[in-house]
Structure 1
Amino acid sequence: MKNLLGFVSLVLVVGGISGLLSEHLWGIRLFGFVRHLVPDGHETAGYIVMIAVGVALAIGTDRIGRRGR
């Protein structure tokens, strides 16, 4: 379970950063699926929320791992 949550948090953080970069710098979509996760017209806020949720999930996953020791 810890590995799955870690993977999901990584995908959210990297996808959010990729979305922000594609919106504001290059226009090249590295993770094409992330555009389906945010509402139209609110891309910047959606990508920031994705990064925040990914970081929070990573912190929670780390705490789960520490509790098991």
Structure 2
Amino acid sequence: MKQVLELIGFIALVQGVLGLVHEFTRWHVGLVQRLGFLDGYEVYASITLVVLAFALFAAAESRGSG
């Protein structure tokens, strides 16, 4: 379970960072800007993904080595 949480956290962190990179540099990377229902809220969604990633890392750490 710990590895699953870490994997999901890593994916959320990468997508959140790529979303922020897209917003500030206009590189066409990441998944956040491709989702139509997030139009206009890409920065908020990217920040939320980064925060979610850290929460998942904390949850994985509290699970122990199981």
Q: Do both share a fold (TM > 0.5)? A: yes
- Kindly report which structure 2 residues correspond to 1:1-69, keeping only aligned pairs within 5 A, or say none: 1-29=1-29, 31=30, 33-35=31-33, 36=35, 39-65=38-64
The CA deviation at 1:34 is 3.2
1-side partners of 2:2 and 2:26: how far apart?
A: 34
Deviations 1:22-65 (A, max 9, x none): 11114221x3x3333x7211000110001001111111111111
Q: Provide structure 1 residue ranges, at least 5 long, that are not aligned to the other structure.
A: none
Q: Kindly indicate whether the alpha-carbon contact (under 8 Å) linking 2:5 and 2:60 is maintained by their aligned counterparts in 1.
A: yes
Identical counterparts, % of pairs: 27
Superposed CA RMSD in Å reads 2.0
After TM superposition, the score normalised by the length of structure 1 is: 0.79
1-side partners of 2:38 and 2:64: how far apart?
A: 33
SS at match of 1:27: coil
